[in-house]
Structure formats: C-alpha cells, structure tokens
Amino acid sequence: MSIENLSIEELRELINYHSQKYYTEDDPEISDFEYDAMMRRLKEMEAADPSLITPDSPTQRVGGAILEGFEEVTHEVQMQSLNDVFSREEVLDFGEKTAKAVDDPEYVTELKIDGLSVSLEYRDGVFVRGSTRGDGTVGEDVTENLKTVRSIPLRLKEAVPFIEVRGEVFMPHKSFLRLNELQEEREQKPFKNPRNAAAGSLRQLDSRIAAERGLDIYVFNVQQIEGRTLQTHSEAIAYLAELGFKTIPIKNVYKTIDEAFAEVERIGESRGSLGFDIDGAVIKVNSLAQRDMLGSTAKCPRWAVAYKFPAERKESRLINITVQVGRTGVLTPNAVLEPVRLAGTTVSRATLHNIDYIREKDIKIGDIVLVQKAGDIIPEVLEVIKEKRTGEERDFVMPDRCPVCGAETVREEGEAAVRCTGGECPAQLARNIIHYTGRDAMDIEGLGPAVIGRLLDEGLIASVADLYTLKIEDMENLEKMGKKSASNLVAAIEKSKNKDLANLIFALGIRHVGARGGQRLAQHFGSLDALISASADEIAEVEDMGGITAESIVRFFAQEQNIDIVEKLRAAGVNFLCREEKKSGVFDGMTFVLTGTLPNLRRNEAAKIIEDNGGKVSGSVSKKTSCVVAGEEAGSKLDKANALGIEVIDEAELLRRANI
C-alpha cells in the first residue's frame, strides 16, 4: 500500500515498527530512503494539522531506545539530530532563512557518515568516557568498546582540562566484507549493511568482540570545552586534528549556499570511492556565534541541514546465473549482468541470495532487472522489469550436485540454503580443517588458520586426514615455522589421535552435530563404526538428536568422500572408540542454565561437567529449569531465575556438587 493512502495512525505504527527493527534490533527491513520517505510524509501530515501531533509521535523523538547491559549516560549537551532535506530547492530555502537571521553567513560541508553517533569525553587530555547518542538526552556507556577503536586517541596531544567531542563510529567496507566472511564461516547470519554491523559491534557486552570488528571513527563536533575559546567550526575541526583526533574532512569554507550545494553534489558523485558508507552530506553554518543566534528546536539545530542521497538504482540485463560454493558448503546463486555503472563502480555481478529469493522475485535468465548496491557495497537485484520480457527468458534450477566437487546437494526442511555434502570439497576445505583442529574438536595446539592456510597453499594437505601424514621436514621451511615449531606441531597432531570419540564425531563437521551432541552419540553407540551403521531411527533415539539431525548424520556417512576421510583416519591410527563414561548421576533429571562469565570455566567446560554427571544444559530459563549457574555480569536470565524462585549457584558450588 502507498504511504499516501495510510492514515496518520497507520503511518506512525509503521514507522515505529521499522524504527524498532533499525535502531534497537539492528535488523532493518527497508532502505534508509524508504524510511525517510515515511517520516517525511508524517511530518507533512502533522504540519498540515498541528492538532494531530502527539507526544509519542515518531517526529517528537530523536533516536532509539536504551539496550539492557550498559549503564545510562545523561548528555549534558543534547546530541541532536539534523533536519533532512532532499532537493536543491530545500537547501536554498535553508540558506535564505539563515541569511535573513544572521549577517553574511559562511558554510561548511561534511560527509554524512552512515554509522553510530557517539560522545567522547576527556579530562586533562585523557579519555575517560564514551557513550552512544541513545535518544539524544540519555545514551549508553560504551567506553570499553570505544577504547578498541584504534583511531580514537586514549590521550590527547594537549592536556585540555575538559573536552567532549561528537563523532560517528562506522565500519569500513573492507572490515564489513571480512566480518561477513567470518559470519559465514561460523554459520551465523550475515549483517545487512556496515551501519548495522557497526552498531551491533559497539553494543557488544564483550569488548573483545568489538575489538575484532575493525571499527573506525570521524570526529565532527566540539560539544563542550574548557580552557579554550573557538570562533568557527572550521577552526574547531582544525584544533581537534591538532589534538590527535581523526576529524571529518572539510574541503573549504563557502561564502554562499550555492557554493556549498555544489560541494554536496561533488560528494555525491564521489561516494562510491570513499571506502565507507555515507547517506548524504551536511551543510553547517561556520560561525559558532551565529549558531547561538540561530538556536535550535527541541530536536534539531537551525544552523545545519542534512542532504540525503537516494539509493542509486539502474537497469541491466541478467545474462546468466552462476553458483558459488561458500566455505560452509552453501551454494549461492549469483547474477551475471551486462556491466553497468553504479555508485561509483562498474557492476557486472550481483547476489541472488538463494533459490527462494529467485522464485519470490520471479527472476529468469535474460530478464531486464533493477540493480542497486546494498549499503553502497554489495550489488543486488531488486526486481524484474517484467514489461520488457521477450518470451526468450529461461528459468533457473539449483544444481543437485556440487559444481566444485560433484557431491550431492541437499536442502533441509525449513532452510533456504542448499548445501554441498562433500567432506573433501575444495571450496570448504580450509573451513573444515580449521573446525577439525579446534579446541572442542581434536584440539591440535599450534595449528591455527594461518598455519593451515600455508599448508594448503604449499599443497601439503588436501583433507583433514592428510594432517597425520605431515613430517617435520615438510613444515620446517614454511614461513614463520622453523624446526622446533614443526616438531611441536607434529607432536600435537600425533597426540590428537588419542582424543575421545566424542571429539572426533564433532570434528567431522556433521551438520547439526555440536560438541554436546558428539558426546551423547559417542556414549550411546560406543564406536564410530556403530554410528556409521546406525539407521536414522536408531540415531533419533539418542537424547536431543531428533529426526533432522539423525537424517543429517545418515546422509553424511552415505557420501563416498566422507567415508574416504573416515578410512584414512582409521589408517592413521585415530581413536574410533568412546573412552569417557558418565562420572556420576548427581545431576540426573536436572536442567541447568549458564549465565554471565564464570571465574575459571568456559561455558562449554561447565556444560560438559553438568552433562558428565547426568544433567542437561538449556539456553533459556523457564519453570522447568532446576538451577542457574551465574557468573559476573549475569543479565536477564539471572533476573528471571530470581523472579521464578529458581536456585542460583556459582561456579564453586557447581564444582563442589560435581565432586571436583
């Protein structure tokens, strides 16, 4: 339905829904341009009849909600939003109103970076607190996460008594693409765009996660300062650069609003070459004294506007659809397009996500399609221009065999992804070996991703089984290796042969089988050969397996590639028997929930202790929960346990009850 036909109540409800998805959940369903159009329409309706404005209208709030897990920070200087404009006429109108209010205004223009706005506070030149914008008045204390952003100085070049600056934290394109590769490897949902990836990273309760995300920042305003008087915005930005901040680029100071808008247009033309996302350009009055004279509304300053760029979309012919096999075995269809210039680069390929997306959009080979870059990075096909069809277009069918290794492909019930089932598929090889050698699997110390990459590059391994054929002389001349490291690695690989069957089952990378599942399967069947011979019905009888997991296991061992790996592991002397037994039954019939950070145990270690003693571990608290094991920074799970009257213990008590 067109937003023009919505009532004001319906429009508010729709905007509130998408605000929740965007600001709180970091999972937008529409583009910024579509959201801006809805907000613009609501403002028009309220301007036409001010009596319709309500205190809870989306136009009366500045930002998003406070998330649980961070302390609140009240901003002494409100972190306001900007009025958005969408045309040259609106920019000129802003200039005309400004010129009537103050004499001879000068303007500066800035990139409007698509990230997360933050406040940084320094005392005597030392970074003491960082917070998110929140709703403009109250934000979240994210100091520890901001300390991981390398472009934020922890100590300034001058010991300013006190200064508070405002900046925009963002994720560069390179970091975003690398992050989504990691998400794919971990079989986690990829982020939709860099803005939401940056927001999600900055809101991590574990600052170590934020540290690995490659965030960056541009500082663009002085909120408060002691010990120095500044006259203009351009002077303030230059001073911030002197202090050591990474500041927003300001090309020039403009005497007229027309000159400023010409720079905005230049920024729009160059946006594809920036290496990070912008969704517009900002025009500001340069004089700080004139800003004071112009003042602000309750939400926005009168001395600045944000010109928003629409998402660039163009037509192209879809020449073919090819299939790429990812590192997790997922087959992704990609559109091969007639080259088209889009957002500063030439686009000849675009993602089609999965077969459901192709069917939903009714995409055929030969179609004329509308293409845009999601977040100005990843090209995607938006829709088919069906009126331009000639009748020669062809349907696309996902292959039933992997185009890389020839193994059978499967699509499990309830999933959009089609997957390769080949354990020796070259497309998945690095990921499979990394998984096999991990701590919860065969735990081969010293065999990290970098070393595995070098072994693959040198052609020394082509499957996990090849690890057991490696010799010291094969590796001692590898980059950053040496004889001692090679000797230690060979010893660690040899040691892994004696790991329990539970570790091996998990290490094989069978879909839906985790570390705990491997343990239950090992204890139930006793040997790998017994598991291989078991039917789906027999496997489904094992606790927490279920029909989908059972079918996945049977399908895995039905593949010739996977049986080949098993036989090579057998020949290498890898243990195929279960040696661990349930230690006691002290937790029989009990369900535990783990929350917070335990002093000494990792989550999987605590879970193993519980399961070894007959208990179950659940991810959520309910009336069926027997006990909650709580560590530091325990959150809502602890609150719910207390509300339900469920017993709460610490790590020491868990170990005592398990007789450890």
- Enumerate the active-site residues: 112
The H-or-E segment that residue 235 falls in is helix 233-243
Alpha carbon distance 251, 255 (integer Å)? 13
Alpha carbon distance 325, 331 (integer Å)? 5
Helix and strand counts by DSSP (H, E) for the chain: 24, 22
- Please give the C-alpha separations between residue 392 and each of 210, 289, 315, 320, 398, in angstroms, as whole numbers: 50, 66, 18, 13, 20
Residues 221/248, Cβ–Cβ less than 8 Å: no
Place of tokens 């009888």: 541
Alpha carbon distance 130, 73 (integer Å)? 9
CB neighbour list of residue 378: distance below 8 Å, 6 or more residues apart? 351
DSSP line for 29-60: SS-HHHHHHHHHHHHHHHHH-GGG--TTSGGG
Partners of 139 in beta bridges:
73
Partners of 351 in beta bridges:
334, 380
303: nearest Cα among 457, 588, 500, 108 = 108
**Helical axes 603-612 vs 515-525, angle rounded to 10°:** 20
Place of tokens 């027997």: 626
Q: What is the DSSP letter of 469?
A: G
Burial of 196 (0-12, 13-18, 19+ CB in 10 A): buried
In this structure, are strands 72-74 and 138-140 parallel, antiparallel, or unpaired?
antiparallel
Alpha carbon distance 235, 255 (integer Å)? 16
**Helical axes 194-202 vs 173-185, angle rounded to 10°:** 70
Edge-to-edge strand ranges of the sheet holding 304-308: 83-85, 304-308, 278-285, 107-113, 253-254
CB neighbour list of residue 635: distance below 8 Å, 6 or more residues apart? 68, 69, 205, 595, 596
Edge-to-edge strand ranges of the sheet holding 591-595: 616-618, 591-595, 627-630, 647-649
The CA radius of gyration of the chain, in Å to the nearest whole number, is 29
DSSP line for 477-519: TSTTTHHHHHHHHHHHHHHHTTS-HHHHHHHTT-TT--HHHHH
Q: What token pair was written down for 594? A: 């783990």
CB atoms within 10 A of CB 444: 23
Phi, psi torsion values for 351, nearest 5 degrees: -75, 145
Alpha carbon distance 222, 230 (integer Å)? 9
Residues 149/217, Cβ–Cβ less than 8 Å: yes
Place of tokens 């990230």: 115
Alpha carbon distance 530, 301 (integer Å)? 72
Burial of 655 (0-12, 13-18, 19+ CB in 10 A): middle
